[in-house]
Structure 1
């Protein structure tokens, strides 16, 4: 039966109001733009404050969706916009494939869009106090589950995790010491939900305001009682060598090695305990090119300190596997010490191509890896001698691995006193990537209570203290330089060191409990169990004759 204009047509997924609507493409474009907004909170813009309201347009859009299908589409498009925006600097390497990746990863937010609609709008109208309270707990938890799933290394890893945008906000770093970057993400999304609830209706305004006040009190409590490792012992002196863009000619690796040698000699008077070179700073195996080993040994002897280099070359590991390894190698005054670490988590497309037989074509449209690197099997803590007669326990990470909170936590729990990240973002030199990558060191330091030294070939190189604070001046991408940093040490463990990803488990429990509760509320047998109340039967039209005239009784 046709529905007259202006009448509400009851559907199984809520009321659908007839009337003028914006074209679907405009709503889709709005979802893409709304999803991209949070990228402004990350470096290079670093508008950290906008993270607390950047999700509000996306929340309001999904919450006002007329159907569940439209809410899922708003979630998908918003997620795609977010992924493309925080990874836009990859366009020069993988070209249009970044749009494909963004679209695939964006699908993870489709259920989140449906969830937002059910709690902020949907069939029940504006949320009251109960639904508002549920939204404040469930929507951030569901967001965190999306972040966890997409943080799997094979899907690109935890780059652009929303909580990482708060790397220079001291209260957020304190939260990270309690529950990692995941707890910071939960807090940031919860503030966005509260702001959206204030806008949605007067009924939810009080609940949202109370939630904001309680959140502020909880943050203050964390500040007061959360244990932090106390600084202790004499600060080791660690030198960072950043050769910069020396040349793009075919012989540039040799020129870069020579420039690194020169910069290393310049810190001879700095009395460094350790010198750190960036990722891929050596492009030949020391076994096949012993002259390189001799040059590094001479440097170490001149400085009286070990040199930690990173070798990107074909070699063989302790298990007899042959291939190209990204290998952190410690060289001392007596030569290579034999202490090495092979990169475990490789960058999809950049260092290997997943399912190369199927996706190998991407190497023809971008700068994807022509040959797969071989992944290491275990993390390593290196012991480095100090000038004062003591020793320093160093936990190496290579490039992409600094994005993974669990790897830093494992090293801290294994006894590392300093986390050292060897990186290279030369391919993305003039993009947001170098600053974004360096900022991750602040989060890892705050989470573990261990200082982080982030050394790169071309910048940004930076050092962060055990509470996430910056130490000294960074070396920007325009510099070819070396610098010596006094790195403060700390002893003790953070709550994140002790309890790990507990915030993730809480989020899983919250979402699971909500889904179970919603399932119990459904009425069995009513259109697949999706309706909470039956619809009244439509009026029966009068009978008609074949000529269209009303039938008369008795005829």
Structure 2
């Protein structure tokens, strides 16, 4: 049911209704489990099947499929199985296996209905955070990715991030499952559980009402841009697996760009920026700047940029050479030496309006086992990867955040700084020249996987991003559901930071999203096309999520640790009796029981 809720080939943008039922069976199962083995297996199967059904398109990642689908499915399932154990920890005590103890007058709080519901909700939310973060993070196949058709609920992300959406959905499932247990249980013995369920259902109702009020307000809130940028995003729909030159991709992109520039000229407008997708240039910079000054011969890239007189962002690669100090042995003497190491970066490249290469942003979060290969520098592993999979090297993750400043237009809502800094060392003519300089917008260009991770997007925003432009290439998947799943995860960034998001993809989904998650303009999937849009740039505002990050996930982590420690203690008075006294009391109980039987 969760796989059906996540964007798929039948429901392209997902079906969130299914999420309201998807976790009821899992909650019911965990109320019946009596050992850790079954707990591990139950959640292992849940996460494995969800991953395989919703992310089957990973199998199309050519030579890497053994890692992208096989390794990711097994890894996700192992994480899920481990959390199955964590789910079961608080319920595993010497007396909790006896169902009669659940109705005793004195019983542990951790066996109460409120605890079960909140612990189940918090632990699953924590699971989604763990599986979506870090080097092995895989943020697809999550509850939040299924909620795109309920944009009012998605507005919660500006406060809690995507994990607030997950928390609310799982909480609803747990309450609904508990109601089923009460309906089919012993009505007289479960009066206390009924009261607890009603209390937590009321709390959920109040919380949901507040979130709906907040969501409706934010979704319909009129926002006035302070700047505008007319951008052309190109979707060339080229085959990423072809080993031939990038000539066709460049010529197609040039044709699509020129068509949109001509269309804008007919309406008296001019483009401020052109964006091509990830990996559209195959030769590494900066050494290839001269190469693209004459290639392709039909219309050299640098010359094309100079002719249209518009800054451009291209997807490409950068090579960086670093010298490493070492030592070599010559006979009986050790001589210091230096060797050169090459590092390759998946990058967004900036060309200015004069056709000059200006700089790059290198992708920070690489796809594990596809772009990033751990220990590839070790000869044995390098030889194995080259022989078995045909991989000889991996990308290097970027080590800095880079912003591109592009000229733009200001609107009537733009306000100049209240205090102006005056440099007495500058002449009057120099000061007037600065005053007449065009306004600029500070752009960050997360590449592909980058836009799904808080540890990338949040620092970019906090350091001054005014506009997110994501370049990506998911065309290798050959499936529409893959493109939409990536888009849905990326669209949360616009809401989390209340910042416009532009996506330029090789085959889709190329789209412009405003700070409330609404689509301003888009292109059809797997078609050659381009989009010319007046992109609104809004005043930066510090959202709760931007300020505190994944605070809800950390809160769930604290709850989990406290419950894990708590599970080693039993809070009934009987469990605090020392071992000797406990054994005597056991004997007295046995005698009383035998007398009662007689």
Q: Please classify the TM superposition score into its range, dividing by the shorter chain length.
A: 0.7 to 0.9
Q: Equivalent of 1:110, from 62, 81, 88? A: 81
Corresponding residue for residue 421 of structure 2: none
Corresponding residue for residue 338 of structure 1: 358
1-structure distance, mates of 2:318, 2:360: 14
Corresponding residue for residue 424 of structure 1: 473
Corresponding residue for residue 97 of structure 2: 123
Report the CA distance shift for 1:231/1:309 in structure 2 as closer, same or farther (over 3 A).
Answer: same
2-structure distance, mates of 1:247, 1:347: 16
Q: Alpha-carbon deviations, 1:151-170, whole Å to 9, x = none?
A: 23422432333223223422
DSSP 3-state at the match of 2:398: coil
2-structure distance, mates of 1:120, 1:490: 50
1:354 pairs with 2:374: yes
DSSP 3-state at the match of 2:532: strand
TM-score, normalised to structure 2, is 0.75
The 5 A counterparts of 1:51-450 are 51-93=19-61, 94-95=64-65, 97=67, 98-114=69-85, 116=87, 123=97, 125=99, 131-202=112-183, 203-204=193-194, 205-207=197-199, 209-223=201-215, 230-245=223-238, 249-251=242-244, 253-269=246-262, 270=264, 271-289=270-288, 290-293=290-293, 295-312=300-317, 314-316=319-321, 322-356=342-376, 357-358=380-381, 361=384, 369-386=391-408, 389-430=438-479, 432-450=481-499
Q: Alpha-carbon deviations, 1:332-377, whole Å to 9, x = none?
A: 12233523111111111221322344597566666x8542111110
Q: Which moved more, 1:229-238 or 1:386-395?
A: 229-238
CA drift of 1:380 comes to: 1.3
Q: Equivalent of 1:485, from 527, 533, 537? A: 533
CA drift of 1:241 comes to: 0.5
2-structure distance, mates of 1:441, 1:146: 20
1:42 pairs with 2:35: no
Q: Alpha-carbon deviations, 1:384-438, whole Å to 9, x = none?
A: 1226732111011000111102322221211111101110012102252111112
DSSP 3-state at the match of 2:508: coil
CA drift of 1:489 comes to: 2.0
Question: Contact between 1:53 and 1:192, CA under 8 Å: does it hold in 2?
Answer: yes
Q: Which moved more, 1:39-48 or 1:128-137?
A: 128-137
TM-score, normalised to structure 1, is 0.80
1:515 pairs with 2:575: no
DSSP 3-state at the match of 2:359: strand
1-structure distance, mates of 2:238, 2:164: 38
Question: Contact between 1:314 and 1:325, CA under 8 Å: does it hold in 2?
Answer: yes
1-structure distance, mates of 2:442, 2:520: 19
DSSP 3-state at the match of 2:135: helix
CA drift of 1:48 comes to: 2.0
Question: Contact between 1:284 and 1:314, CA under 8 Å: does it hold in 2?
Answer: no
Report the CA distance shift for 1:182/1:321 in structure 2 as closer, same or farther (over 3 A).
Answer: farther
Query: Mind listing any 5+ residue stretches in structure 1 that lack a counterpart?
Result: 1-36, 528-532, 540-555
Corresponding residue for residue 23 of structure 1: none
Q: Which moved more, 1:462-471 or 1:310-319?
A: 310-319
1-structure distance, mates of 2:224, 2:590: 74
2-structure distance, mates of 1:157, 1:484: 32
Report the CA distance shift for 1:406/1:538 in structure 2 as closer, same or farther (over 3 A).
Answer: farther
Report the CA distance shift for 1:509/1:153 in structure 2 as closer, same or farther (over 3 A).
Answer: closer
Report the CA distance shift for 1:534/1:164 in structure 2 as closer, same or farther (over 3 A).
Answer: farther
Corresponding residue for residue 327 of structure 2: none
Q: Which moved more, 1:106-115 or 1:312-321?
A: 312-321
Question: Contact between 1:63 and 1:116, CA under 8 Å: does it hold in 2?
Answer: no
CA drift of 1:103 comes to: 2.7
DSSP 3-state at the match of 1:201: helix
Report the CA distance shift for 1:312/1:247 in structure 2 as closer, same or farther (over 3 A).
Answer: closer
Query: Mind listing any 5+ residue stretches in structure 2 that lack a counterpart?
Result: 104-108, 184-192, 265-269, 295-299, 325-339, 411-437, 580-584, 593-598
Q: Alpha-carbon deviations, 1:422-468, whole Å to 9, x = none?
A: 10012102252111112223101000111111111121211111111
Q: Which moved more, 1:144-153 or 1:342-351?
A: 144-153
Q: Alpha-carbon deviations, 1:487-527, whole Å to 9, x = none?
A: 22222221111221111221122222323333332647999
Q: Which moved more, 1:353-362 or 1:499-508?
A: 353-362
2-structure distance, mates of 1:490, 1:120: 50
